Structures are given as structure tokens and as C-alpha cells.
Structure 1
């Protein structure tokens, strides 16, 4: 019944029904069937009120609406537009310079907002027409924009890492209790932020190296901008004014977390306030725009919490059918032990990324498999970052990669769906290569958290 429950949920999601209602509705339907057939004890549902209250009252998850607000404000206040213009004029004089400006601005925008959709849409609207006009390859341009947008998944402060931090903290405590450790430690969001810094920057470097290889092989597809602007004082001041606000905001938010000055929620509130101040200084914030920002923040936050509530109901029913014991036995009997079990989990998450969003996978799959893997001795920070990088590919994998939909929605007739699909495939390969590198050298993830937090 546990396996059938999981398969039916995936099938209903593929039919296009709302995620949160599907998770809760199918789980409760199976609970009713299980009660009638004697395979499920409905008294387990009595734990639901406390579980749901714990979800809503979780202080870590309060960072989600604040980070979303910060990202939406920066998106609407044209910070990215000014930054891209300055970087394009700076790097555009070199062959392939526009693509490198897209990578650089996308990284800053990802670090500032942590929202994949906002980054892809913003970069698609601003940079794709210019790239195509200059003669850049349409497929590669589309793939580069989509891949750059997904950096928001791994480069902190990331909403995905905030959600993963909460899930993994609970999983780690469960794992330690299973091992007889009755004063369990937790995994903080700051640990994941520190662990994600080097892999995130390494991924950006790999994007750039891949682009340099293409420039060497097909230089005609990566022209330099002809109308070069001389570097004078006004240009320097324009570049500084475009660069300083997002860099300062990133330093305040990320630095305060890594240095232990503020919790993620407190740092998120600083980021939200800082983004609002940037918009006011740039004279972009108006009452209608503020209303639009608040509505967008409310919609995104409501979606996240509703999915989390549905996932809590699903996981409770899944455990009631013995699903946790089933997974435990499967992992412990897996050839290769811990390595085999980890490979299986990563493969399942990668395949589910073709049909599910990262939020569903984070709330549904990770709580089921993480406690068992951690009890088998896996490092929680390494596991969290590996899952984050794996989930990052879910935005790029056809047919349901959300980054592909975002770009297709704003590109209109500029590029075709087939060109977008063709363009993202090499970047999916690069992300999988990064996972292999992190598996061979786990210190790339664990070194910085150990230096900061000991």
C-alpha cells in the first residue's frame, strides 16, 4: 500500500492536479481505504493537528516569506536591469562577453533573490533579445539563461536551502535518536549556506569554462559587441552604483548568518528591509508596486506552506502503511551498502525532477530517505548540498523543467521549445559532473562549515 500510495500521487501530479491538494487528498483517501481493509490505523491521524501546528509555527520557515519579499522587490526595482546593462558594456567588448555578463549578473541576482523564476524571467526579458540580435547561438543563449537562473537553488541565501535545512534538521535528529544519541544535534541553515558557497561558485566557473571551449571551437557564434563604450569616470561611477547595492545586500544577509551575528530569519528580515531601501533610493518603489510585491510574496509563500501541509499529511499516512520500514529494509539490503543506497536516492530524486517541483521533492521524498541515510553514517551537510544540486537539475530537465517554462513564456517567438531543450542539455551534464566531483571530493562541501562552525 505504501508503494501504491507513492505511485498514485506521482500519477495524479502528472495529470496536472494541484500539488498540495493531491498530496493531502490521495493520502487521506488511502487512509480511508486502509481503515476499511484493516491495513491502516486511523488513530495515527490524531497526530495531524500537532504536526501542522509545528509546521506553521516553525521559526526557520519564517525566513521564506522574507527572502521571497526581498527577491520580488529586487526584481521589480530594476536593480538587475541596471546591473546587466553595466556588465554588458564592460564585458561586451570581448568575444562572448555578453554571455559572461549574463553569468555574472545571474549569479548576483540568484544570490540576492534565491528565486529561480524571477532570475530566469528577468534575464530572459533583458538579455535574450540582445544576445540574438548580436548573433549568438539561440540554443546556447537559451540554455545559458535557464542554467544561470537555477544558480538561485545552490548559491546562498537560497529558499531551497532554507527548506532543506529545516527538513534535514528534523531528519538528523531522528537519525541520532535511532543511533541512541539522546542529546541530538541539528543541522542549521547556516551550515548549508556555508557548504553551498564553494560548490555554487565552482558551478559558475564550470559554466564559464564550457563557454570558453565553445568560443574556441565556434568563435563566429560568440561575437564581441561592436559599439564599445570608452571607460571614463561616468562609466566607472555607473558600474559602481549598479554593483554596490546588490553586493552590499548579499554581504549583510549572508555575512550575518555565516558570522553567527543573526539567524536566517533575522538575516532575511534585514535583506527584505535592505531591498526596500535600495528600491526607495533608486526611486523605483511606489504604492502600486509595493502592493504588487506584497501580493506576489503572499501567493508564493502560501503555495510553499500549503504544499508543506499536504506533504506532512502524506508522510504521516505513508509511515502508517509501513513505508519507512520498507525504505529502511531496502537501503540496508542494497548492494554496495551506504554508497549503493546514496546512489539510488540521488537517481530517484533526479528522475522525479522530470515530473515534480523541488518543493514537493524536498517535503515528500527527503523526509522519508534522509533519516535512514544519516543513520547509516552520511554527513548531513554533504547530503543536503548534494540533494540541492540534484534538485537544481529538475528545473532544466524536460518535459516539466520550470526554468524552461519560465523562459518559453517570456521569449515568445525568439526561440523555439526545441532550441531551449537542446540548449539546456549540456548544462544538465555540467551539473551532473559537479555532483560527481563533490562525491569524489566531499571536502569541497564540508571544509568551509568546519572552518566557520568548528
Structure 2
């Protein structure tokens, strides 16, 4: 029956490439193959009944409650224009520094990543907000677009990330399927493991920008008037809501301490409560949702209409995630019934190079699949199929989760199919050539590949902090 499992995987990839919705493609293909298996006598009809217990298990999973709450937090911060206030305040700190505006974009992108965790939203927001200012400030187009794309994808790795929440649940299940004992893997473990690689990425981005500004000062000039331009842009983007936000706290010189401290305090409270063991991810996400709402009220950006927009957007995003999860759960059930997991385990264990060879093949496969599939599909479809085999070979589950997250982050940034490039292309002026965007992201792709190599050579960068906090 193993050949049926592999044929089913090939078929679902073809259906996805044809453009059909992911959730229905996964469930539909699995049910068709299950019907074939029942008709030929290869599968027992009771298999389909067990799907209901799996779906009920998803409904009872408390970790997944964090997903809509984190989405609500990110959307509320986006709608309340916290990103604009962050960028204005951060640019004020780096005024007069060569490359300071690009450094500000990286730092704000990291803060947005820690607050939204949604790559598309971060890239679009930073593209609309900072790209016009960087171009007016005589920054080179490749550098500007590359910085925005790279900082936008930080939402994949910097906690609290939705990717890590979903990966934590999937890898914990894979750990059980692999029959590995010891303490279960939690979302908090992945959050702790992602801290140092996330910080390392941000630091390397900033070092590259600083070197670039020194070698090519005309392409990354020190900007003093960028603060005024940012303020003007913020005023223009919110012109239609003047009456709504006219009484919001404003800064006369482009820098306001609260625009940096308040969002940072919220992020530290959310992340700190998880790492300290004070709150579960779901409880911390609820704290973040409430805190984001309070920030919107403080900045006079809260209204009933805005709350409706946030709830509507949260519902759409969460529904998409859970529909894909349901479809992937049915697909995984049928795939395992056809002994597909045994086939993958045999393939990976038979590769030359042992664990190293298996990891290279899995990482390369996920990297290529990242061109055509979103992270949600990869987390729910590919990871459950490959992770149990890797974990059974002795791979550390926390290290594996962070390697997958950084790998997908690199994939979403790589031309010609990277998702982040498409997001930015959609909001850039038509006179900016796509080739310039591709050229701008190349140095950041090399940086991320370097971080992947560093984590592969020194896994302690990932595993050290979780061992200190939780052991």
C-alpha cells in the first residue's frame, strides 16, 4: 500500500498547483484515495470513522486557541497604526546615522514580527510605510526593497510567532508518533529556542547595513529630515480618519518615547510570561489581544468600526488556518493508513550520510515547496510526514523546529517565487523593476543561509536557552 500513499502525495501536489483551495484539496484527495482503498479492500471502513475523533482532538487542543488570539493582537496593532508610530520613533533614534533609516526598518520589522507574526501583513505594512520615505531619502532601490522584505520575514522566527505555535503542536505530535520518551515539546520550548537565532539574524542584518552604508554612503545616506517625511506620510495615510485620531498623542520632533516603550512592554509581557512559565501560550495570547486593544484606545485609534474590521480579519485568517488543519489531519490519517509514514522512514534512513543526508533532503524539499505552498500547508502536511522519521533518527525536536522555521523564512525570501517578494511587488510603484527587488534580497538570503549553517554546526545556539529555562 505504500505506493498508494506516495501516489496520493503526488496527486495532492498536482491539485494544489492547479489552484484549488488547499484545505479542500487535502481532504478531497484523501477521501477519494480512502474510497479507492475501501473498494479494493486495502483499507477498513472504520478508518473513516476515526477521522471524527481526530477532528474532536483538534477542537480540544488548548494550544491552538493561541492562534486566533495572536492574529487578533497583530491585526489590532496594524489597524491602530502602531507600526507607523514605531517607525517614526525608531527613525528618531537613528537620525543622522549613515544607513540609520534602513536600520530602523529592520528593528521595527523585528518588533512587528514579535507582535503580528504574519509575514504578509508585515511586508505590506512596511512596504507602504517606509519604502516611499527611503526612496525620497535617496536610498538605493535594491537596498530599500531588500531591507523591507528581509525584515518582514522575521515574523517566521521571532516569537511569539504563529509559525512557531503551529510548529510546536505538530512537532509535539510527531514526537509522540516517533515513540520518543522524555519531556514533551511545547510551544514555549520553540519560543525559547528561536530567541538567539532571531536576535542573530537581526544583528547580522544591521551589521550588513552598516558596512553597506560605509562602502556606499550615497546609497544609504544619513537622514535627518526623514523624521519629518515619516510624520507627513503618517498624516497623509490617516487623513481620512482625521476626526477619529485628531486627539491622539503626537510628537513634535518625530520621536515619542511611548511610541517605542508601550509596544515593547506589551511584547515583553507576552513573551516573558510564556518563557517564565507564568502563562500558557493561549493565556499569553489573550494578554496580548487585550494589551493591543488598550494601546489602540490609548492612541485614540479605537472605534466600533475598527473593532469590526479587526474581528472580521481575525475570523477570516483563523478560519483559513483551521480549515487547512482539518484537511491536513484527514490527509495525514489516510496517508498513514496506506503506510506512507513507513515508506518515508525507509527512504530517509536509507539515504547516504545518515541523519545529515536525511536532514539535507528534508530541508531542501521544504525549501522548494516554500515556493508554491504557504507555511501553513507545509507545517500541516510536510512536517507531520517527515518529522517522525527524523526524530526517530535522534534529531532534537526543538532544533528541528527552528531549522524548519528559518528554512521556510529563507524560502519565502528567495527569487523568483518567494512569497515576500510577491507581497512587496504588490505595493511598490510600477517604475521599480522586479529585478531590483530580487537583487536587493540576495545579501539577506546569504545571511539567512549562513545562520542555517551556524545552527547546523552549533545546535547549542537553539537548544541552550530552552535547557536553561525549562530544565
- The normalised TM-score by structure 1 is 0.94
In structure 2, C-alpha distance between the alignment counterparts of 1:405 and 1:336, rounded to whole Å:
36
The CA distance in 2 between the partners of 1:72 and 1:229, in whole Å, is 25
CA distance in 2, matches of 1:112, 1:215: 29
- Residues 1:331 and 2:348 aligned together: yes
Aligned residues: 446
The CA distance in 1 between the partners of 2:227 and 2:354, in whole Å, is: 59
Provide structure 2 residue ranges, at least 5 long, that are not aligned to the other structure: 229-250
Instruction: Tell whether 2:303 aligns with 1:286.
Output: yes
Q: Which residues of structure 1 form unaligned runs of 5+? A: none
Deviation at 1:123, TM superposition (A): 0.7
Give, in whole Å, the separation in 1 of the partners of 2:389 and 2:281. Answer: 27
From 446, 450, 464, the equivalent of 1:447 is 464
One of 256, 269, 275 as aligned partner of 1:239:
256
Pick from 34, 47, 51 the counterpart of residue 50 of structure 2. 47
Distance of aligned partners of 1:163 and 1:37 in 2 relative to their CA distance in 1, 3 Å threshold: same
Deviation at residue 28 of structure 1 after TM alignment? 1.5
* 1:109 equivalent in structure 2: 112
Residues 119-163 of structure 1 show CA distances to partners (whole Å, capped at 9, x for unaligned) of 111111110001111121112211210110111110100000000
Taking structure 2 as the reference length, what is the TM-score of the superposition? 0.91
Q: Work out which of the residue numbers 440, 450, 453 in structure 2 matches 1:433.
A: 450
Note the alpha carbon deviations across 1:24-46, whole angstroms, 9 max, x for none. 11121222233334444443222
> 2: CA distance between counterparts of 1:398 and 1:41?
45
1:229 deviation in Å? 7.4
**Aligned residue number for residue 235 of structure 2:** none
Q: 2:62 aligns with which of 36, 39, 59?
A: 59
Name the stretch that deviates more: 307-316 or 211-220: 211-220
- Say if 1:81 and 1:237 are closer, same or farther in 2 by CA, change over 3 A: closer
Q: CA deviation at 1:217?
A: 2.8
Q: Is residue 150–residue 395 contact of structure 1 (8 Å, CA) maintained in 2?
A: yes
Q: Deviations over 1:171-226 (max 9, x none)?
A: 11222x3x5x4xx5310111100010000000111111222232233221111215
Q: Which residue of 2 aligns with 1:198?
A: 196
Post-superposition CA distance 1:396-415 (Å, at most 9, x none):
13344222222122224252
> What pairs with 1:331-350 in structure 2 (closer than 5 Å)?
331-350=348-367
Runs of 4+, deviation exceeding 6 Å:
234-237
For 2:206 and 2:106, the matched residues in 1 are separated by 8
Residues in 2 aligned to 1:228 and 1:434: alpha-carbon distance in whole angstroms = 32
Deviations along 1:277-302, one digit per CA (max 9) or x if unpaired, are 00001110011100000000000000
CA RMSD of aligned residues (A): 1.8
Name the structure 1 match of 2:394: 377
For the 8 Å contact 2:371–2:419, the answer to whether it is kept is no
Correspondence 1:20-169 to 2 at 5 A: 20-169=23-172
